[in-house]
Amino acid sequence: MKAPLCALLALLMAASALGAVRATLDANHVGAGEPVRLVLQYEGQTRDQPDLAPLQQDFDILSTSRSNNMQIINGTVSSHTETQIIIAPKRAGQIPVPPITWAGEASNPLTLNVSAKQTAQLDSVFLETIVDQKQPYVQAAVNVTIRVYAGEQLLQATLEFAGNGDVLAQQVGLDRNRTLEKNGRQYDVVERHYLLFPQKSGDLKLPGPQLAGQVVMRARPDRLSTDPFADLFGAAGGLAGAAKPIRVHGDDVALNVRARPNGIDERYWLPAQKVTLTDNWHPGNAEVHVGDPITRDLHLRAEGVTAAQLPDLAALIKLPAGLKAYPDQAKLDNAALGDVVTAKRDQSVAMIADRPGKFELAPLRLAWWDTQANQPREIILPGHTLTILPAMGAANPGPVPAANPDGASRNTAAAQDSPARLSTTSLRDPWLWISLIFALLWLATMLAWLFSRRAPRKAAPLSAAKARVQFQTACRRNDASGARSALLAWAATAWPESAPRSIAALAKRLADDRISVLLLELGRALYRGAPWDGAALASAIRDLPPRGDVTGGGKPGGGSLAPLYS
């Protein structure tokens, strides 16, 4: 038994050592876009994979498969490993199939003749690429429509059209299925829309679309589905007949991209088809107190661009001295209607004044380039006047008394004209003064006794621990008013000699950017009566004064922040 087994092993080792690679094609002449099967056969057994990189220059590799075979006939062992590759030529003419290296061995070279015209059946599947403009401006949208014409049943079809580093490609909308007649023949057509965005000026070329799939060479006369696109861009099913892989190339897209015109705002570049800009103010009367936020909501809409191309609207607002801006994070969105994409940018900017007075805001100007009319345009939102009143609870000195022409005040003049005067004799009598003083003291004592019995007792100030608990509880309940009251009471225990009387003053005392933004949100909720989430503020303020505060006396150790809600 050992001798036959050793002989068999020797034969197997000899077979595995043959190592020759042979290449064959199942057809030497094909039409344009028609795939062909390349078979590589390795004489022997190997776990290595063939190097298919040399094929990629002139061919698209559609699929690969591998098999191992071994036969023993009359004591002779034959063994080989086979790899089948479905390739599709990228061009017409005589295309060389280069040698393929496999397990250290190279295959024999071959030549494939590719006709410029498709075969009769493949001629019924082709692509049409429609570009709306060939000379766009840099970063301006270019509408591209790709139509897949199918005169025969297609299975498992996919359409590829990708951008590169010079041109970005974005699909918009949904595919449209319809039937069209072309050259006297009916075709089932799938239409797909793309937007191209060239990223630099000059002559640019983008590889055309590619359709990969299978064409039914012998379809059953009674189709199971009445929908001609039941299997297009999807899975096959229910059809009997031979199917052959295909890959069809569309025309390349050539663009001559123009640079942005001279004199355009260097901060941004907005080439679009249509642009609108609106704003809203809260509160609408534009009268607030020092430390109260007034919010400007800006809404920008533009057709033919993406939201990422829209400029930062907060950067376009010019503020006078005494006003500070706190922009919210912008909300961006892209919406497609047909082959038109509309970009949206919604942004709110809160403005807070640090002193009373009237503030004149300059008009907001947005420049853009009209790609349809090929000319610059500008949107101007009118200027705005803000009337800022003194802070709530601030002392009001009242109007300054007007002066008389002779320099004496009106009160003095009235006193001089009053008929009630004390005589000189009465003023000199000391007993009169003594009696008057005792009477006033007795009257003050009686009044103090009466008020002490009738006046309600003032509530004792909250302790730091109790105020902190009330603040945390109000935040958990999302009670904005309760959180503000408890927070100021807590601050009064932390800085008893110079307690902040408003949230604005507390923000300035804390000098923390994150807390300032959260206090601004609290102020907005109080001002508008809007819902408020207190979790973030409760997490941000855990101790008063903050740990590490060495400023003393309530003076901020760092730079001051703009006042927030009073």
Along the 566 residues of the chain, how does pLDDT read in single tens digits?
455 555 455 444 444 444 589 999 888 888 776 788 899 988 888 888 999 999 988 888 888 888 888 777 676 767 788 999 988 888 888 899 999 999 888 999 999 988 876 655 556 888 999 998 899 999 999 999 999 999 888 888 899 998 888 999 988 888 889 888 888 888 899 999 999 999 999 999 999 999 988 887 654 444 444 444 444 444 444 444 567 788 888 889 999 999 988 877 778 899 999 999 999 998 876 568 888 888 999 999 999 888 989 999 999 999 999 899 889 889 999 887 777 889 999 999 998 888 899 999 999 999 999 998 989 999 999 999 988 898 765 555 444 333 333 333 333 333 334 444 444 444 455 555 555 665 666 676 667 656 655 544 444 566 787 888 888 888 888 888 888 888 999 888 888 888 888 887 888 888 887 888 788 788 777 766 778 888 888 888 888 877 655 444 443 333 333 333 33
Write down which residue in 209, 225, 257 finishes a domain: 257
Write down which residue in 207, 225, 257 finishes a domain: 257
Q: What is the DSSP letter of 84?
A: E
At residue 534, the pLDDT reads 86
Residue 200 lies in a domain: yes
293 lies in the same domain as 381: yes
Residue 549 lies in a domain: no
Residue 105 lies in a domain: yes
327 lies in the same domain as 221: no
Residue 322 lies in a domain: yes
66 lies in the same domain as 136: no
352 lies in the same domain as 476: no
Helix (H, G, I), strand (E, B) or coil at 377: strand
Of the candidates 336, 269, 301, 304, the one whose C-alpha atom is nearest the C-alpha of residue 142 is 304
E strand spans, 339-481: 340-353, 357-361, 364-370, 375-381, 384-389
CATH assignment at residue 72: 2.60.40
385 lies in the same domain as 317: yes
Helix (H, G, I), strand (E, B) or coil at 140: coil
141 lies in the same domain as 190: yes
**CA distance linking residue 265 with residue 274, whole number of Å:** 18
Q: For residue 349, which amino acid is it?
A: V
234 lies in the same domain as 149: yes
Residue pair 119/248 in contact by the 8 Å Cβ criterion = no
Q: For residue 531, which amino acid is it?
A: P
At residue 420, the pLDDT reads 40
136 lies in the same domain as 212: yes
Residue 263 lies in a domain: no
Residues 6 or more apart whose Cβ sits within 8 Å of residue 222: none
472 lies in the same domain as 382: no
Residue 443 lies in a domain: no
7 lies in the same domain as 81: yes
Q: Pull the structure tokens for residue 334.
A: 């892209």
Reply yes or no: is the peptide bond before residue 99 cis, omega within 30 of 0.
no
215 lies in the same domain as 282: no
pTM: 0.52
Write down which residue in 374, 389, 404 finishes a domain: 389
Helix (H, G, I), strand (E, B) or coil at 467: helix
Residue 506 lies in a domain: yes
Q: How many CB atoms lie within 10 A of CB 47?
A: 6
127 lies in the same domain as 248: yes
State how many domains the chain has.
4
Residue 405 lies in a domain: no
The four Cα atoms 10, 14, 17, 23 give a dihedral, to 10 degrees, of -140
Range of the domain at 103: 2-114
